[in-house]
Each structure stands twice: as C-alpha cells, then as structure tokens.
C-alpha cells in the first residue's frame, strides 16, 4: 500500500454509491426474455435505445461514411494517422450546427469555441480543472446525478456543496436555496467558484424555467463566479415547456459584451440525444478564450477518435436526416414516457410531472415504513432483490426527502417495460395486503444484509460530510 498513491488507496471515487451498487446486482443476474426471464430488469441506466433503427438505416444508405470513404476513395490511412487534438473541422462545424438545430436555431454556436472531449464525463471534469483548485467548491442543486460525485471531485479535488431543493416547488431552484448553499460553503471555508446545473435535469426529467435561468445569471453576476450548464439531454425534450438553453437567456439579456458572458460554459454530448454513449463524444462550449485553450490542451488525454469524428460529421451534415431524427426521437420518447407513467399509475404510484430526458422522478414515499433514509434503503433493497428491478434511490442523488426514485424507460423494449410495471404492480398490491405472495416476503440472506449495512454506512457517511 505504501508504494501506491493516495488517489489509489483512498475511497473517494463514489463507486460505492447505491446508484452503482444496483448496477452490480443487475450484472450478477441480468434479465433476458429467453435465457433469464426472472432476472433483474435494468431501469437504472439512462440510455436511449428507442431510435437505433434510424441510425442503422442511415448507415445502410451511406456505406461510404461507415467504410471511411469519400467519393469512393478510402480515407483509412488519413484517419488512422496522427490528428491534431483540436479535432476535425468538419465535425466541429457539424456538431455546433446540430446543437443549434436542437435549440430551434434560436441561437448559434462558434465552432472555434468548442472543445471535443471523450464524453460529458470528461467535459465536466475538464471544466473543474480549468475553473477551480483542489478544495474549492461548486454549488450543485439537489437531487443531482450520482456520477457527479465521481466526475467532479475524484481527480480534481473540487468539492460539491448542495443547493437544497425540495418537492414543495417541484425541486426548482430558489434564491434562498442559492444563498443558503453559498453561506454553507463559507462555513466550510470553501471558496465557491461556480454553480453547475443539468438542464434538462438528471434525475428530475424537467427543463429549467426562464425564471430559474435568469436567477442563476443574476446570482453568478453578483458573486462573480462561473456557471456550468450541462445540456446533454437538450434533444430529448418531448413536451412543454420547451427547452431553453442558458446561451439563449444570455443573448436575450444582451450579455454578449458583458464580462459574465465569459463565465458561462456549456457541456454537451451525443450520448443521450443520439443514443451513442459508446462513441464517447462530448464537448465544452465556452466564450472564455483561456478556458478553450486550456481545455483543448487537456483534451489530449481523452480524444474522440478520428474515425468517430468523420462518421458523425457525415451523419450530422445530412440535414434531412437530423431534422427527421430529432422529431421522430422526441415522438418516441414521449410515447414511452407516457407508457411508464401509465404503468406506474396502475400500480398506485405517481411521479413528478416531466417533459424531457430518459427517466422519471418517481414518488414512492407512501410505500415507506417510516420517513427515513433507512426505510428508503429497505424499500430499494426489496425492489432490487424481490421485484427484480434496478432503480436508483433518491438518496444516491442526494435528495433531501426519503422515498423518491429515478426510473429509466428508454433502455429497454416496450415488452420489457410492461413486464417491469406488472412486477411493480404485484409488489405494491402485496404491500397493501391485497395479495399475500410469498415471493415478496423479506428474505434475510447474508448478501442482502451486507448490502443494507454497506449502503446505510455510506449514506450516513455522505450526509455527515455534507453537514460539516
């Protein structure tokens, strides 16, 4: 152990979160319609698998792009050799045009202000390295994506101070919550370098209101700090209100020539909108030349392959395809979202009204045995082991209220979703005493005991850290 670094030996990666632990349990017993029909159904993975056929159809119609050819001539050697880490100009141009199209072309983006990264994970971490020093803090509204505890903190040494949002106003950010979080950071002797938000929200599945976005601009202007808007779900908005990017708010306020304009940064990715997380395509957009220059240098540690850039530059440059894809994908997400909500309602479960993303923020507070996070963990344990559904507990998202869960709906077939809802319905009925089914009696095997002990310990440890 003495021969290894502190980074290797410390337990600050966040992998021990119940969010990741649920994945581990799924991988031990994954559902398969034919091979393992009683296995765990993965509902903790925010993947968009609803529009693969559209992508595959485009590839079939464009064999030269998939074969790395241009006008019938092979580009293999050119793409296989060293590439400047600034990225392929054709891809950067296609990407910023796609970003504008998703936003209804109400805003435009300068391809010279975009930095390519290996996914949004890399983009967020790179911005932490650019904007903050170890020990300094970013304010993040709760509930937030559990991976931020890893992405923002692990290698950078940056701290997260939660902006406590509640169900009282559907978890919207308020001025008082922002001020309270800022004061809490000061109590911890942490210099606040900025605020990070996800819009649309992960895990809420909602778009931020203009009033919230204006509130954030006012706040960072007053405090002279940064704002990062993670907009990787911007193309998944399927209902009203429509998505409003922070860049649109800045332009409406005519902030282009004001200093605050350089302190707002956007993170984007093709992982959710195009359903291509395995391609590892992310981006940082910033109006600060120094941030762009530094982030570009850092991107050499996590480049997007030239082959990927070429293929996607061809795809995204096909405007007929992108227009149809965006419209059809949003239509399919809306239908699948409606299917999940209907299934939950049939089981007597409601969720936060949402209009975007690949999941719902589900309210199971009425199923808790007590209003505690211990009860939430016990319910989650039953759902994972007895109902055989992997969902994400609200405590893993740092929600302040026990009983909320994130449930994904776009990473499975409709048939699998129907099965998941049927399992959940039977479980709720058994809890209500209308069906005394033995398979839902709490089993006290050693594996589940160790799971509970581990998650409780982690949950308490995390909350103790937040209270300091």
pLDDT tens digits, 294-333 = 999 999 888 999 999 999 999 999 999 999 999 999 999 9
Contact 425, 355 (CB under 8 A): no
Closest CA to 116 of 309, 278, 271: 309
Residue 1 lies in a domain: no
Whether residues 228 and 301 fall in one domain: yes
Domain end residue (candidates: 271, 286, 321)? 321
The model carries a pTM of 0.90
Shared-domain flag, residues 278 and 242? yes
Same domain, 145 and 222: yes
> Which residue in the list 225, 232, 266, 284 is annotated as catalytic?
232
- CATH code at position 428: 3.90.1150.10
Which two three-digit tokens encode residue 374? 């211990």
SS3 category, 386: helix
The CATH number linked to 68 is 3.40.640.10
pLDDT at 73 over 90: no
Choose the catalytic residue: 230, 288, 363, 386. Answer: 230
| Residue 421 confidence (pLDDT) above 50 | yes
If asked whether residues 292 and 348 sit together in one domain, one would say: no
The yes-or-no verdict on residue 142 having pLDDT over 60 is yes
The answer to whether residues 236 and 110 belong to one domain is: yes
What is the per-residue pLDDT for 460?
A: 38
Average pLDDT in the 347-370 region?
A: 96
Domain match, 77 and 130 both: yes
Q: What is the mean pLDDT of residues 73-80?
A: 84
Residues 460, 128: Cα–Cα separation, whole Å: 26
The parent domain of residue 166 ranges over 64-321
* Comparison of pLDDT for 448 and 466, the residue scoring more: 448
Is 128 among the domain residues?
A: yes
- Catalytic one of 145, 233, 268, 285: 145
Contacts of 86 (CB under 8 A, 6+ apart): 296
Percent of the residues in the chain that have a pLDDT greater than 70, as a whole number:
91
Whole-angstrom Cα distance, residue 357 to residue 337? 9
| pLDDT tier for residue 85 given thresholds of 50, 70 and 90 | confident
Higher-confidence residue: 36 or 2?
36
Mind listing the pLDDT tens digit for each residue in 23-34?
788 999 999 999
The token duo for 212 is: 């919230």
Asked if the structure places residue 59 within a domain, the reply is no
The pLDDT of residue 5: 79
Last residue of a domain, one of 294, 321, 348: 321
Q: Same domain, yes or no, for 98 and 18?
A: no
Residue 422 lies in a domain: yes
For residue 124, pLDDT beyond 80: yes
Q: What is the mean pLDDT of residues 363-368?
A: 97
Q: Is 383 in the active site?
A: no
Residue 468: what pLDDT? 37
> What Å distances lie between residue 107 and 265, 325, 327, CA to CA?
15, 20, 19
Supply 449's token pair: 């005991």
Same domain, 399 and 310: no
Question: Of 280, 299, 321, which closes a domain?
Answer: 321
Q: Which two tokens stand for residue 184?
A: 């809490």
The b/e string for 214-234 (b: 16+ C-beta within 10 A; e otherwise) is ebbbebbbebebbbbbbbbbb
pLDDT exceeding 90 applies to what percent of the chain? 79
Question: What is the secondary structure of 50-95 as a DSSP string?
Answer: SSHHHHHHHHHH-HHHHTTEETTEE-HHHHHS---TT--HHHHHHH
Length of the chain (residues): 468
18 vs 135 pLDDT, higher one: 135
Which of 120, 149, 151, 29 is CA-nearest to residue 395? Answer: 149
- The answer to whether residue 145 is catalytic is yes
User: Is residue 217 located within the same domain as residue 359?
Assistant: no
pLDDT of residue 437 exceeding 50: no
Residue 2 has pLDDT above 80, yes or no: no
Query: Which residues, in sequence order, are bridge partners of residue 362?
Result: 351, 405
Q: Has residue 436 been placed in a domain?
A: yes
Q: Could you give the CA distance from residue 177 to residue 84 in angstroms, rounded to a whole number? A: 44
The secondary structure of 372-428 as a DSSP string is SHHHHHHHHHHIIIII-EE-EEGGGGT-SSTTEEEEE-SSS-HHHHHHHHHHHHHHH
Catalytic, out of 272, 381, 388, 425:
272
| Residue 100 in this model has a pLDDT that exceeds 50 | yes
The whole-angstrom separation of Cα 165 and Cα 149 is: 18
The closest alpha carbon to 275, from 320, 318, 228, 315, belongs to 315
Q: Is residue 276 part of a domain?
A: yes
Look-up: residue for tokens 């590439």?
83
d(CA 178, CA 173): 7
* Residue 205 counted as domain residue: yes
Mean confidence (pLDDT) of the chain = 90
Q: Same structural domain for residues 16 and 118?
A: no
19 is catalytic: no
Residue 12: what pLDDT?
62
| Overall domain count for the chain | 2
Distances (CA, A) of 235 to 202, 228, 455: 14, 18, 34
pLDDT of amino acid 441: 43
pLDDT at 361 over 60: yes
- Find the mean pLDDT for residues 5-19: 70
Confirm whether 232 is a catalytic residue. Answer: yes
Specify whether 301 is located in the same domain as 386: no
Give 210-245 pLDDT, tens digit per residue.
999 999 999 999 999 999 999 999 999 999 999 999
- Within-domain flag for 170: yes
Predicted confidence at residue 14, as pLDDT, reads 62
Residue 446: CB atoms within 10 A of its CB come to: 7
| Domain identity same for 242 and 317 | yes
Assess whether pLDDT exceeds 90 at residue 6: no
465 has a pLDDT exceeding 70: no
Q: Is pLDDT above 90 for 456?
A: no
pLDDT bracket for residue 52 (50, 70, 90): very high
Span 192-200, mean pLDDT?
Answer: 98
């Amino acid at each position: 152990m003495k021969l290894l670094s502190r980074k290797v030996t410390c337990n600050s990666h966040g992998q021990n979160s119940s969010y990741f632990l649920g994945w581990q349990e799924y991988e031990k017993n994954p559902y398969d319609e034919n091979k393992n029909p009683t296995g765990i159904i993965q509902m903790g993975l925010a993947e968009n698998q609803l529009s693969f056929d559209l992508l595959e159809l485009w590839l079939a119609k464009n064999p030269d792009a998939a074969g790395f050819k241009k006008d019938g001539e092979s580009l293999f050697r050119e793409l296989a050799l060293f590439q400047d880490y600034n990225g392929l100009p054709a891809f950067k141009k296609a990407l910023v045009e796609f970003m504008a199209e998703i936003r209804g072309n109400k805003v435009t983006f300068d391809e010279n202000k975009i930095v390519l990264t290996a996914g949004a994970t890399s983009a967020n971490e790179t911005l932490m390295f650019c904007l903050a020093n170890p020990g300094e803090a970013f304010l993040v509204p709760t509930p937030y994506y559990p991976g931020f505890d890893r992405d923002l903190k692990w290698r950078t040494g940056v701290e997260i101070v939660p902006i406590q949002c509640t169900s009282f106003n559907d978890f919207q950010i308020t001025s008082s919550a922002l001020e309270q979080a800022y004061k809490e950071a000061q109590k911890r002797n942490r210099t606040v370098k900025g605020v990070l938000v996800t819009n649309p929200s992960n895990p809420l599945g909602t778009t931020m209101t203009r009033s919230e976005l204006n509130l954030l601009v006012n706040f960072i202007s007053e405090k002279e700090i940064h704002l990062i808007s993670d907009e990787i779900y911007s193309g998944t908005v399927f209902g009203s209100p429509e998505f409003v990017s922070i860049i649109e708010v800045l332009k409406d306020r005519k902030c282009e020539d004001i200093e605050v304009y350089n302190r707002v940064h956007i993170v984007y990715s093709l992982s959710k909108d195009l359903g291509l997380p395995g391609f590892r395509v992310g981006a940082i957009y910033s109006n600060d030349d120094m941030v762009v220059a530094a982030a570009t240098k850092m991107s050499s540690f996590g480049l997007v392959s030239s082959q990927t850039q070429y293929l996607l530059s061809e795809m995204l440059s096909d405007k007929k395809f992108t227009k149809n894809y965006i419209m059809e994908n949003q239509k399919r997400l809306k239908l699948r979202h409606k299917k999940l909500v209907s299934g939950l309602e049939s089981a007597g479960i409601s969720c936060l009204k949402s209009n975007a993303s690949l999941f719902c923020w589900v309210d199971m507070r009425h199923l808790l045995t007590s209003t505690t996070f211990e009860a939430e963990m016990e319910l989650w344990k039953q759902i994972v082991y007895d109902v055989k559904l992997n969902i994400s507990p609200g405590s893993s998202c740092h929600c302040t209220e026990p009983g909320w869960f994130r449930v994904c709906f776009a990473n499975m077939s409709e048939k699998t979703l129907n099965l998941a809802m049927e399992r959940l319905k039977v479980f709720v009925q058994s809890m209500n005493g209308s069906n005394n089914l033995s398979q839902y009696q709490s089993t006290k095997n050693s594996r589940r005991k160790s799971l509970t002990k581990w998650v409780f310990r982690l949950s308490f440890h995390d909350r103790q850290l937040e209270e300091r």
